[in-house]
Amino acid sequence: MEITPVRIKGTPEWRALAEHFATIRDVHLRDLFAGDPGRAEAMTVEAADLVLDYSKNRLTTETVRLLTAVAQRSGLRDRIEAMFTGEHVNVTEDRAVLHIALRAEAGTHIADRGHDVVPDVQRVLTKMADFARRVRSGEWRGFSGKRIRSVVNIGIGGSDLGPAMAYDALLPFSDRALSVRFVSNVDGADIWEATSGLDPAETLFIVSSKTFTTLETIGNAKSAREWLVAGLGHPKAVERHFVAVSTNASEVQGFGIDPANMFEFWDWVGGRYSYDSAIGLSLMISIGPEPFFDMLAGFRAVDEHFRSAPFEHNLPVLLGLIGLWYNDFFGAETQAVLPYSHYLAKFPAYLQQLDMESNGKCVTLDGSPVELSTGPVVWGTPGTNGQHAYYQLLHQGTRLVPADFIGFMHPAHRVGDHHDLLMANFFAQTEALAFGKTAEQVRAEGVAERLVPHRTFPGNRPTNTILAPELSPRTLGELVATYEHKVLTQGVIWGINSFDQWGVELGKSLALRIAPELSADGEPALGHDSSTNALIRRYRAARRP
Ligand code: F6P
């Protein structure tokens, strides 16, 4: 597919936004709220079970009108359609981008190169559900006849972050008789710790890798296989204790995993968009097939909203536009994501890959340099812990840090008044960030004059508030789909390809070159720069054989 990116900076829509920015940049949220009692109501949108209040942002309804005009001009509407209908919008890899097919209703027709992919998705989901039920019920036994008590997912990047995040997020829905662990790092400490204390006879490994060639994953899988065979005393044990999730059947077979125990996905699913594919097998074993299908329904509800809602009421589009507003006009470099749920501890790390691997690009679709700043640095930790660590900088630092606050009406567990306290902090933080505290207010509290500047809060720090009824499989699916589509929205306006990741290749190939140099006998000729050569020599000198 030929996509000619719109050079958005040169358009009248962008220029109008830039002129408007000059009138907004110094306006305080205090004044925006004081001037419009209906602001919060006007700036609240809903999608499925999610509510977004974006009123605590440095913008007006005119800003939103101009931002949506930019989105229209960028061709976003057509690109959404192109993605949903299987066009090869991943132009540098000539691939369709069809994660939306992973949660499409059975019977929907979505074709890649004329082939309807939905029956394939449904077939794999049925196979996963059958396997998950057998493991959960104890029908699937290990080599020595014991039932499976521990599942270890071996994968990295998109083959790890999604299921690991979702497993934690949905722990209250999990079968606690089965523990799930995740191994990703090539640092041997990871597989060491993940297997420590486990009984090989009761352990199932899921080797998850789209390509099945990723160095870290294959290295960890080999070590896991050695551990298992040593523990059970027979290579045939591998058949009952290893399954694979991959697009690469021949490599899976080469590793020694029975192809009947391979759960397939396809090249039109990007790694970071894949945890609702078979990559979520560990999650499905943990929570069971029905909750997994509820999660898919949540994804689907937001997909439908994204595809059909007008941009000014479109939750993922608005999140994308607001992020772009700070990124490209206010010069913000980062985006904080602050979930007020302990179970979402890994959500920011998951979003890091989703957003930064997608939109960390410096050339447009046609290969020319981008004219605008692209993807921000995404980071965060759950509230309230962050409040006692880095929120100081958010409140009084010199940087502008736009933040998404994510909270839930109902807790997973009723423990005293914890949830009200958690949510009191949640609401307090966005209020404090937006409105701050003036020097006059500080003085009125009788604070000594020399301390007044220190105790003043400038405010005007922007936040989005996202609320959901509770953290459930369904709302988790809705949240993830929201961020997936936010990333697409921004990528289209910046004119970049959000679906490739060539930037990870150079480091990988250099590591492959350096690995044998570290263990080679004698004095290998090193052809790197002087710093890298010296560091390798120092390491070699210290390295124990
Ligand atoms: O190196 C980056 C990357 O390709 C990610 O995009 C991907 O999610 C990860 O590695 C793992 O790849 P695979 O699933 O093929 O092992």
Whether the CB-CB separation of 478 and 294 falls below 8 Å is answered with no
**CA distances, 132 to each of 101, 231, 252, 283 (Å):** 21, 24, 20, 9
Q: For ligand 1, atom 1, which residue shows the shortest CA distance? A: 504
What's the confidence (pLDDT) of residue 544?
Answer: 77
Whether the CB-CB separation of 353 and 103 falls below 8 Å is answered with no
Q: Measured between alpha carbons, how far apart are the two ends of the chain, in Å?
A: 52
Atom number of ligand 1 nearest to Cα 504: 1
For the range 74-83, what are the long-range contacts, defined as Cβ-Cβ under 8 Å and sequence gap of 24 or more? 74/6, 74/8, 74/492, 74/493, 74/495, 75/6, 75/492, 76/311, 76/317, 76/489, 76/492, 76/493, 79/3, 79/488, 79/492, 80/306, 80/307, 80/488, 81/307, 82/1, 82/3, 83/488
Atom number of ligand 1 nearest to Cα 158: 8
**CA distances, 145 to each of 148, 282, 489 (Å):** 9, 21, 51
**In 336-408, which ranges are continuous DSSP H helix?**
347-351, 358-359, 391-396
Atom number of ligand 1 nearest to Cα 211: 15
What's the confidence (pLDDT) of residue 219?
Answer: 97
User: How many angstroms is it from 270 CA to the middle of ligand 1?
Assistant: 9
Mapped onto helix, strand or coil, the DSSP state of residue 281 is helix
How many helices and strands, by DSSP H and E, does the chain display?
Answer: 23, 13
Q: What is the largest CA-CA distance in the chain?
A: 78
Residue 501 near ligand 1, beta carbon < 6 Å? yes
The position carrying tokens 């396997």 is 131
* Most ligand 1 atoms within 8 A of CB, residue of 99, 182, 210 to mutate: 210
Residue 248 near ligand 1, beta carbon < 6 Å? no
For the beta carbon of residue 358, count every other beta carbon within 10 angstroms: 24
Atom number of ligand 1 nearest to Cα 274: 8
For the beta carbon of residue 299, count every other beta carbon within 10 angstroms: 25
Residue 159 near ligand 1, beta carbon < 6 Å? yes
User: How many angstroms is it from 104 CA to the middle of ligand 1?
Assistant: 24
User: How many angstroms is it from 245 CA to the middle of ligand 1?
Assistant: 13
For the beta carbon of residue 112, count every other beta carbon within 10 angstroms: 20
User: How many angstroms is it from 185 CA to the middle of ligand 1?
Assistant: 12
What's the confidence (pLDDT) of residue 514?
Answer: 97
Cis peptide before 247 (omega within 30 of 0): no
Residue 217 near ligand 1, beta carbon < 6 Å? yes
Residue 497 near ligand 1, beta carbon < 6 Å? no
Residue 511 near ligand 1, beta carbon < 6 Å? no
Atom number of ligand 1 nearest to Cα 246: 14
Residue 220 near ligand 1, beta carbon < 6 Å? no
User: How many angstroms is it from 271 CA to the middle of ligand 1?
Assistant: 6
Residue 271 near ligand 1, beta carbon < 6 Å? yes
Residue 157 near ligand 1, beta carbon < 6 Å? yes
User: How many angstroms is it from 157 CA to the middle of ligand 1?
Assistant: 5
The tens place of each residue's pLDDT in the chain, 545 residues long, gives 778 889 999 999 999 999 999 999 999 999 999 999 999 999 999 999 999 999 999 999 999 999 999 999 999 999 999 999 999 999 999 999 999 999 999 999 999 999 999 999 999 999 999 999 999 999 999 999 999 999 999 999 999 999 999 999 999 999 999 999 999 999 999 999 999 999 999 999 999 999 999 999 999 999 999 999 999 999 999 999 999 999 999 999 999 999 999 999 999 999 999 999 999 999 999 999 999 999 999 999 999 999 999 999 999 999 999 999 999 999 999 999 999 999 999 999 999 999 999 999 999 999 999 999 999 999 999 999 999 999 999 999 999 999 999 999 999 999 999 999 999 999 999 999 999 999 999 999 999 999 999 999 999 999 999 999 999 999 999 999 999 999 999 999 999 999 999 999 999 999 999 999 999 999 999 999 999 999 999 999 999 77
Residue 360 near ligand 1, beta carbon < 6 Å? no
* Most ligand 1 atoms within 8 A of CB, residue of 504, 505, 509, 510 to mutate: 504
By DSSP bridging, strand 403-408 and strand 377-379 are unpaired
Q: Determine whether 234 is exposed, middle or buried from the number of CB atoms within 10 Å of its CB (0-12, 13-18, 19+).
A: exposed
Q: Determine whether 172 is exposed, middle or buried from the number of CB atoms within 10 Å of its CB (0-12, 13-18, 19+).
A: middle
User: How many angstroms is it from 167 CA to the middle of ligand 1?
Assistant: 19
* Most ligand 1 atoms within 8 A of CB, residue of 90, 93, 154, 501 to mutate: 501
So which residues are the catalytic ones?
357, 388, 508
Atom number of ligand 1 nearest to Cα 214: 16
